[in-house]
Amino acid sequence: MLLYHLKSDNMKNTLYILMLVAVLLSSCTKTTQDLETSMDIPVVESFLSPNHELVVRLSSAIPYSSDTTLEVTEYISGMQVYITSDSVTHLLSEITDSAGYYKDLTNELVVEENKKYQLDFIYKNDEISSSAIIPLKPENFETSETTIELTRITEESGMGGGPPNMTSIELSWDDENNDYYLIYIQYMEDEYDTVNTVIEIEEASELANFSSEPIQNNMYTIRGTQFMFFGEYQIILCRITEEYAQLYEALSQSSLEGLAEPPTNIINGKGIFAAYNSDTLTVNVVED
């Protein structure tokens, strides 16, 4: 199996989240045998969304050993990376002091919903390409509650002195086409006000933010017990492409089994060129 690791920095910077293929690895023009002999495979990572900069990250991968496992080694610099939309082609520039990251410095390239964007560049005489259509913004995104009341757990109150907290909120939105969605919950406070003070939390930032798996539905339930801290949260609903959903699921499987082969929609390369669109609600978690 081919195995490489992608960190969705661009997505995390624009949505402050993680996080991701109608076209499987077989869509690439190179076979596994070709990959073994090429010794240098371009890996693309880009997540497109309206009102956010389009950033493309390029790195290279080589076979890790005698098998077909891939290891991402270093960023690819000095490329001429092109994005085409509405018959207009834009040349991306490498970001100063950020090797391997490319964006439009003219501010003329605007990412808009329901438009197609084509990626092209040449790497060692191979034409690398991909495309993505920006999904429409989710419609009529609503929450059943904007405030959740939780009981603070202390050593004095004990862990199990009362019935479990069954508080929850119901999220809903319109979905006519059975699209893919991803829900991300982002903690907005600068300091972490812990609900359960009995347990020791080493990395609060890792517990404060959480997300759903990709779903094909028009509703989602968040349990009150999922909120680890008091304060304001943003609930972000992302309509994502099928490529995005399949990548997310494949990487989740890889973390558990170490064998899953991440999908790709990059012709003559690996990685992902995908799109999403989002809407946001605010929920406050308060002490009862």
Q: What are phi and psi of 256, to 5 degrees?
A: -90, -35
pLDDT at 5: 42
Asked if residue 103 is part of any domain, the answer here is yes
Do 162 and 261 lie in one domain? The reply is no
Asked if residue 4 is part of any domain, the answer here is no
- Number of domains the chain contains: 2
Has this prediction a pTM greater than 0.85?
no
Do 46 and 145 lie in one domain? The reply is no
Do 177 and 65 lie in one domain? The reply is no
- Does the pLDDT at position 70 exceed 60? no
Do 130 and 45 lie in one domain? The reply is yes
The mean pLDDT of 190-204, rounded to a whole number, is 91
The 10s digit of each residue's pLDDT in 145-195 is 999 999 999 887 655 545 556 789 999 999 999 999 999 999 999 999 999
- Does the pLDDT at position 260 exceed 50? no
Do 163 and 222 lie in one domain? The reply is yes
Asked if residue 3 is part of any domain, the answer here is no
Do 210 and 258 lie in one domain? The reply is no
* Residue numbers of the domain that contains 187: 139-238+280-287
CA gap 136, 233 in Å, rounded: 24
Asked if residue 2 is part of any domain, the answer here is no
Do 256 and 174 lie in one domain? The reply is no
- Does the pLDDT at position 26 exceed 90? no
C-alpha distances out from residue 35 to 42, 56, 69, 123, 149, Å: 11, 22, 10, 14, 55
The percentage of residues in the chain with a pLDDT greater than 70, rounded to a whole number, is: 75
Question: How are beta strands 270-287 and 147-150 bridged, if at all?
Answer: parallel
pLDDT at 65: 52
Asked if residue 117 is part of any domain, the answer here is yes
Q: What are phi and psi of 195, to 5 degrees?
A: -75, -50
Do 35 and 79 lie in one domain? The reply is yes
- Does the pLDDT at position 37 exceed 70? no
